[in-house]
Structure 1
């Protein structure tokens, strides 16, 4: 018998477990993977307002402003009281993490929002953390894969350091952590949560009796049936996942089985990451041209490098749900001399111009790979053939675009004239992009105390949830994570703390 069982050992689950233990509860944490942290290990930082870092700049963006931004961005479809609780928790969470030993620095480079420069808190990479990876593609956008004689491992993102420190703190606070243990169902007694049935790696079933359960199991991006039913996307055909941490919606289904209400759900949608720094920087510039499988433009290319989510939403409407980003030798030369318009925050130190030598070496290497998404051609006809787009449509698209460049006015999508550079000088470069996701967001309906609600909007006693499995705020428009950089992980940590605190309070009423 324990007080609280936390299901899930990523950011939300760890935050919940530590907070509950700090408030006097005896806590057991179950994590089905062999390691802690899940996809939170692949991140870079978190959003926060009114932290000591932000206050040192005397920047006037406060909690009220963050609340307004989030609610207006979601058209007030998000739960306003829950958003308010999340935002109000932000400053203390930064201090809480710092007291554990997590170090931060403010994000200094970003393109999508005037606010992120002052609200994005990068975790300092004070340690190197590795995690298992079955395939190099799991490196996603922040990890670095290394293949050893025995295994393939991936160096985690900056937040891998934070997860490691949080795991250490949880153990210090007496949290019993069981990895390789999958929660299967909730035990209910007289309408209240009374335990969890779980299964370890050997197949042994165990029941842990408790007074409260906090579900923090993340989304269901690897569950083909749930993904198709609740989001309309078909895994492997329409969309891929950029990591290999298995997310099957276990906790969401457990909550629904005991009567929890469904909430809005969506993929955490992005454009499939472009491999290597050299290609990513070059293809994510607004000077480039973007066409679909028909050879037509469908978006203002200013979105390149500025907001992957907006580009992803546009790609989702296209044939085969794919796009081709294109530039020519003239644009390449412009990036080598005049430099980049969008400077990526992913890489340090920042690079402001295209490194010709490194780019050419990377292109030479990657273009030879089987099924490479990178195409190089000496003519538009050859490029169209390699991309398998309709030649006549593609040529008309390029001709029209080049006229826009000559006149300085994009009559189709109103692209800023400063980015209008014609596509006409060989060589021609193209990269094929599809849709990817980190996870899914939403599924379990909670209130501002992180209490799970049933289908009549009443609280299910003793049941709490936090993190992505409750994050319907992002299901309405995932580009919120670009408007307020790091808000996805911020939501996980802060709702985790809210759940842990309120679960600890709840069990005291039962004594």
Structure 2
């Protein structure tokens, strides 16, 4: 009897322990699920924030202070870079991000970061110059780039690569993008997409430097007093409104590539296009700066990227072509120089009856462009062990596709593309099975226009005067790219001008 009682007590104890464990798990689950609920606010939110920082790195709302030296609007590459540099210059900055995670459009960047005269180029025997980088970017922008911003950008691009390396973000794998004549597009060492790597590295540094980063923090207004910017009005979690004072504000909120009302207002011809932009790119910073007297430039200059997977509105990075892929039409033949500038390649695809094309590449390209692994996981690729098998998957004439690849491989061997005059990204033939293809078409990708700044990243009014205490960096600004952005220049821009915004805003605060 005594033995039976002990057994009963033992079973009861085990049951209570299991129940307690289940209760503990249930109690903790809502905390883990809350960010996921936030992601349901808009369509494609999960995709929009892919590659962003790990859960648990953000500052709890309870730690919010009433005042900071510098408020930074936006936790993309420009915002986090500015925060790190402001902190290094003795400031107490805060980052406010309206999305549930950090990263912005930076997290979706694929190809790499353009920079010239870098230590990694020197190590690899790549001869480049800032002047060449300047001239090729100016040509790509149709000669309409702001020359002062462009000069500052190229001359400081190498130092930006060094700065990233100094904080553990190493971009020493170098490729090439359209419109460039030299390999200056810097990627992570393993050749993977630059965006996720860059965002994770910046978030890690922000956390290590104990810079507060609040998410779900939607800034509604930049405030002024006596003609100087003095803080922001922000809504947290769509309910708690706060006014935070500051001696300076840096706007790094991104462009307006996901705001179709703003886009079609200046470019009605783009109605109906898909967009590669994350859903937070709605032009809030531009609106708030205009309310303070800031002005804009090139707002109708909106870049349509030629290679976008249409069903998921997902960018297929230029690195795929940069590592040797070709474009073919529904007949299985090439129709344009794949390494031409984005606007020209887009126009060539739009001129096709179907307004779509196929990116065709082999196992060699796949091994060199690690981003393809992600495209494969998402179901974008078709594959064939032979060219004929690939043609069948693509539903294009097998004989034509084989002739196209044979002709191309001969051009690579002879370093002479007699058909379309391509001169770059011809280092490797497409001859390594299996073969792959991704169906693509044009999509809205980048807004070249934005607020006007000077090389100190100060926001200017209509008279060309700096608005005291107001700075901006990244896609929210305009002028650097002119009428067409070169692939890889946007990542360079957010680091170069993010660093400058951190330095110059700190100088402004110290002078007060």
Q: Check whether TM > 0.5.
A: yes
Q: Deviations over 1:276-320 (max 9, x none)?
A: 99xx88xx96583479xxxxx9xx823236554422134457889
Would the alpha carbon gap of residues 457 and 17 (structure 1) be closer, same or farther in structure 2, given more than 3 Å must change?
A: same
**Distance between the aligned counterparts of 1:324 and 1:348, measured in 2?**
19
Q: Is the 8 A contact 1:261 1:453 kept in 2?
A: yes
**Distance between the aligned counterparts of 2:163 and 2:302, measured in 1?**
30
Provide the residue aligned with 2:188 in structure 1. Answer: 123
Would the alpha carbon gap of residues 51 and 377 (structure 1) be closer, same or farther in structure 2, given more than 3 Å must change?
A: closer
1:251 equivalent in alignment to 2:285: yes
Matches within 5 A, 1:82-231: 82-108=149-175, 113-116=180-183, 119-124=184-189, 157-231=193-267
Q: Is the 8 A contact 1:267 1:440 kept in 2?
A: yes
1:451 equivalent in alignment to 2:453: no
Would the alpha carbon gap of residues 189 and 108 (structure 1) be closer, same or farther in structure 2, given more than 3 Å must change?
A: closer
Gaps of 5+ in 1: 127-141, 143-156, 292-296, 327-331, 368-373, 381-400, 402-413, 420-428
Provide the residue aligned with 1:39 in structure 2. Answer: 105
Would the alpha carbon gap of residues 113 and 262 (structure 1) be closer, same or farther in structure 2, given more than 3 Å must change?
A: closer
- State the superposition RMSD in angstroms: 4.1
Would the alpha carbon gap of residues 325 and 170 (structure 1) be closer, same or farther in structure 2, given more than 3 Å must change?
A: closer
Q: Deviations over 1:341-386 (max 9, x none)?
A: x889534899xxx96338788887xx7xxxxxx6558999xxxxxx
Q: Deviations over 1:191-243 (max 9, x none)?
A: 111111111114211111111111111111111210011233444x1x11125
Match of 1:240 among 251, 254, 274: 274
**How far off its partner does 1:77 sit?**
2.2
Q: Secondary structure at the match of 1:448?
A: coil
**Distance between the aligned counterparts of 1:100 and 1:39, measured in 2?**
21
Rg larger for? 2
Provide the residue aligned with 2:71 in structure 1. Answer: 5
**How far off its partner does 1:52 sit?**
1.2
Q: Is the 8 A contact 1:110 1:343 kept in 2?
A: no
**Distance between the aligned counterparts of 1:360 and 1:347, measured in 2?**
25
Would the alpha carbon gap of residues 285 and 37 (structure 1) be closer, same or farther in structure 2, given more than 3 Å must change?
A: closer
**Distance between the aligned counterparts of 1:41 and 1:435, measured in 2?**
20
Would the alpha carbon gap of residues 17 and 349 (structure 1) be closer, same or farther in structure 2, given more than 3 Å must change?
A: closer
Q: Is the 8 A contact 1:441 1:471 kept in 2?
A: yes
Match of 1:264 among 290, 298, 303: 298
Q: Is the 8 A contact 1:89 1:494 kept in 2?
A: yes
Q: Deviations over 1:449-501 (max 9, x none)?
A: 111011111111111110011143324112x22xxxx2111011111111111
Q: Secondary structure at the match of 1:301?
A: coil
Q: Secondary structure at the match of 1:83?
A: helix
**Distance between the aligned counterparts of 1:445 and 1:362, measured in 2?**
48
Would the alpha carbon gap of residues 67 and 379 (structure 1) be closer, same or farther in structure 2, given more than 3 Å must change?
A: closer
**Distance between the aligned counterparts of 2:422 and 2:97, measured in 1?**
51
1:462 equivalent in alignment to 2:469: yes
Q: Deviations over 1:22-66 (max 9, x none)?
A: 111110100111111112122242111222111224544222332
Q: Is the 8 A contact 2:137 2:481 kept in 1?
A: no
Q: Is the 8 A contact 1:51 1:91 kept in 2?
A: yes
Provide the residue aligned with 1:415 in structure 2. Answer: 419
Q: Secondary structure at the match of 1:2?
A: strand
Q: Is the 8 A contact 2:71 2:250 kept in 1?
A: yes
Matches within 5 A, 1:316-335: 322-324=355-357
Would the alpha carbon gap of residues 193 and 287 (structure 1) be closer, same or farther in structure 2, given more than 3 Å must change?
A: closer
**Distance between the aligned counterparts of 1:93 and 1:168, measured in 2?**
18
Would the alpha carbon gap of residues 94 and 285 (structure 1) be closer, same or farther in structure 2, given more than 3 Å must change?
A: closer
Provide the residue aligned with 1:439 in structure 2. Answer: 446
Q: Secondary structure at the match of 1:240?
A: coil
Q: Deviations over 1:117-153 (max 9, x none)?
A: xx12112359xxxxxxxxxxxxxxx8xxxxxxxxxxx
Provide the residue aligned with 2:95 in structure 1. Answer: 29
Q: Is the 8 A contact 1:37 1:163 kept in 2?
A: yes
Q: Secondary structure at the match of 1:452?
A: strand
1:501 equivalent in alignment to 2:480: no
Q: Secondary structure at the match of 2:266?
A: helix
**Distance between the aligned counterparts of 1:220 and 1:288, measured in 2?**
31
Provide the residue aligned with 1:489 in structure 2. Answer: 491
Provide the residue aligned with 2:14 in structure 1. Answer: none
**Distance between the aligned counterparts of 1:49 and 1:493, measured in 2?**
14
Q: Secondary structure at the match of 2:385?
A: helix
Q: Deviations over 1:250-281 (max 9, x none)?
A: 1111111111111113323212425999xx88
TM-score of the pair, normalised by structure 1:
0.68
**How far off its partner does 1:80 sit?**
1.5
Match of 2:480 among 469, 473, 476: 473
**Distance between the aligned counterparts of 1:181 and 1:363, measured in 2?**
49
Would the alpha carbon gap of residues 317 and 255 (structure 1) be closer, same or farther in structure 2, given more than 3 Å must change?
A: farther
1:288 equivalent in alignment to 2:328: yes
Q: Secondary structure at the match of 2:232?
A: strand
Q: Secondary structure at the match of 1:507?
A: helix
